Amino acid sequence: MKAVVYKEPFKVAVETVPDPQILHPNDAIVQITSSCICGSDLHMYEGRTAAQPGIVFGHENMGVIVEVGPAVKTRKVGDRVVMPFNVACGFCKNCLGGYTGYCTTVNPGFAGGAYGYVSMGPWVGGQAELMQVPFADFNCLVLPEGTDHEADFALLADIFPTGYHGTELAGVTPGESVAVFGCGPVGLMASYSAILRGASQVFAVDHVQARLDKAAEIGAIPINYDVANPVEQIKAHLGGEGVDKGIDAVGYQATAAGSSAVGGEQDEVPNIVLNQLIDVVAPTGALGIPGLYVPSDPGGVDERAKKGALSINFGQLFEKGIRLGTGQCNVKQYNANLRDLIISGRALPSFVVSHEVSLDEAPDAYQKFDQRVDGYTKVILHP
């Protein structure tokens, strides 16, 4: 089959790789109809992780089951399904607690597995024609038959639940004001989720104009951090007060004001968003941090950043009594309910999708999404 293979920093290629097989009675094989490119893929694409050449990318996968192992009981050939990016067993201690992002079965020696991702186990990515799904009864979320809402449902694999997770970690409740740093796909989904949860005002911070425009489209207040300090801009809207809740949808590759949209190590200030959030959230507020931070970053700006050690204004955090939550999204905690919001028409997250292209166009799409040019906000590949 054809698949998107990582070659070297800033290079992927579409190559022929072996077809996946049923290796265990609980497996299913899914023919992929949609697989999205994620900001998380860019960390590997840019050589900012330990990812080795040869890895097949793709953790945001949707398709139709074409084969099931003999132990698969509730999913069948022909089912239209979307898989959480987390690969999970459903029976380990963490899965039983709902923390499927920290499954201890699927990636021995580590808590957490994913398709097509460095350090996340042997699971081959779905930016390909076919994909093996282990524990298929647990990992395949069944969707309505047909082709309706393909782009909305594809976002259930990661970014819609992950943006929602940011609002859950921050405990966003009706009437609150929320600052969301980052208007990439995850940030836009966090802003959208905050609005779904009844936030009164959502401030969406970025410096890529096309992305700020999308935030404004859904009713958020766009804040361009190249124009002035975003904390001061947000407080000016609130008579000098801070926001109730804050969300970091940027992560460790945060860039300083005035940097190019493309970013790059020279522009990075890995702790800037965390410290601005501590500054902008009012006393007794809370922070949700779905943005990725890593314990090892070969391209880190200095020795401490290379180890993921950041300087955080913890004294200010303590003084203000701000709570925080972070980590991988446990997609399964949210995906069925978010699917039903799509079916009922109360949520249509696909406003974030800017480009839908064939698998063969993946190398070009990676490059443009990475450079944040031509309005590349979210790309779906259709094998």
Ligand X SMILES: NC(=O)c1ccc[n+]([C@@H]2O[C@H](COP(=O)([O-])OP(=O)(O)OC[C@H]3O[C@@H](n4cnc5c(N)ncnc54)[C@H](O)[C@@H]3O)[C@@H](O)[C@H]2O)c1
The residues that touch ligand X, with contacts defined as CB under 6 A, are 38-40, 42-43, 158, 162, 181-187, 205-208, 211, 225, 249-251, 254-255, 272-273, 290-292, 328-329
Which CB atom, from 60 or from 79, has the smaller least distance to Zn ion? 60
Helix (H, G, I), strand (E, B) or coil at 157: helix
Taking CA 270 as the corner, what is the angle to CA 265 and CA 273, rounded to the nearest 5 degrees? Answer: 130
How much is the CA Rg of the chain, to the nearest whole Å? 20
Which CB atom, from 81 or from 254, has the smaller least distance to ligand X? 254
The Cα–Cα gap between 338 and 353 comes to 17
With CB under 5 to 8 Å by kind, the binding choice for 273 among Zn ion, ligand X, none is ligand X
Among 68, 89, 188, 322, binds Zn ion (CB under 5 A): 89
- Closest by Cα among 121, 44, 118 to 88: 121
Min. distance of Cβ 290 from ligand X in angstroms? 4
With CB under 5 to 8 Å by kind, the binding choice for 105 among Zn ion, ligand X, none is Zn ion
In the chain, at which residue ranges do the beta strands (DSSP E only) sit?
A: 2-8, 11-16, 28-37, 60-68, 80-83, 130-133, 141-142, 177-181, 201-206, 221-224, 243-248, 281-289, 323-326, 355-358, 379-382
Among 22, 64, 92, 238, binds Zn ion (CB under 5 A): 92
Helices (H) and strands (E) counted in the chain, each on its own, are 13, 15
With CB under 5 to 8 Å by kind, the binding choice for 95 among ligand X, Zn ion, none is Zn ion
With CB under 5 to 8 Å by kind, the binding choice for 338 among Zn ion, ligand X, none is none
Per-residue binding string, Zn ion, 152-171, x by CB under 5 A, is: ------x-------------
Are 362 and 12 in contact by the 8 Å Cβ rule? The answer is: yes
User: Which window, 65-73, 105-113, 251-259, 366-374, contacts Zn ion (CB under 5 A)?
Assistant: 105-113
Are 211 and 249 in contact by the 8 Å Cβ rule? The answer is: no
Min. distance of Cβ 41 from Zn ion in angstroms? 7
Burial class from Cβ neighbours inside 10 Å (0-12, 13-18, 19+) for residue 337 reads exposed
Which CB atom, from 117 or from 135, has the smaller least distance to ligand X? 117
Which CB atom, from 128 or from 180, has the smaller least distance to ligand X? 180
Min. distance of Cβ 345 from ligand X in angstroms? 25
Min. distance of Cβ 117 from Zn ion in angstroms? 9
The Cα–Cα gap between 31 and 126 comes to 9
Which CB atom, from 79 or from 370, has the smaller least distance to ligand X? 370
Min. distance of Cβ 292 from ligand X in angstroms? 3
Q: Under the criterion CB under 5 A, does residue 95 sit at the interface with Zn ion?
A: yes
193 φ, ψ to 5°?
Answer: -65, -40
Which CB atom, from 113 or from 291, has the smaller least distance to ligand X? 291
Q: Which residues contact 159 (CB under 8 A, 6 or more apart)?
A: 36, 38, 60, 185, 186, 189, 349, 352, 378
Which CB atom, from 128 or from 169, has the smaller least distance to ligand X? 169
Which CB atom, from 67 or from 226, has the smaller least distance to ligand X? 226
Min. distance of Cβ 171 from ligand X in angstroms? 17
Which CB atom, from 40 or from 127, has the smaller least distance to Zn ion? 40
The Cα–Cα gap between 50 and 53 comes to 10
Tokens of 26: 């609980």
User: Which window, 40-48, 117-125, 214-222, 226-234, contacts Zn ion (CB under 5 A)?
Assistant: 40-48
Give, for 338, the enclosing helix (H) or strand (E). helix 335-343
CA–CA distances in Å: residue 178 to residues 171, 203, 319 = 10, 6, 20
DSSP assignment of 200-215 equals SEEEEEES-HHHHHHH
Min. distance of Cβ 111 from Zn ion in angstroms? 9
With CB under 5 to 8 Å by kind, the binding choice for 89 among Zn ion, ligand X, none is Zn ion
With CB under 5 to 8 Å by kind, the binding choice for 92 among Zn ion, ligand X, none is Zn ion
Q: Under the criterion CB under 5 A, does residue 103 sit at the interface with Zn ion?
A: yes
The Cα–Cα gap between 214 and 185 comes to 10
Site residues (CB under 5 A) for Zn ion?
A: 38, 40, 60, 88-89, 92, 95, 103, 105, 158
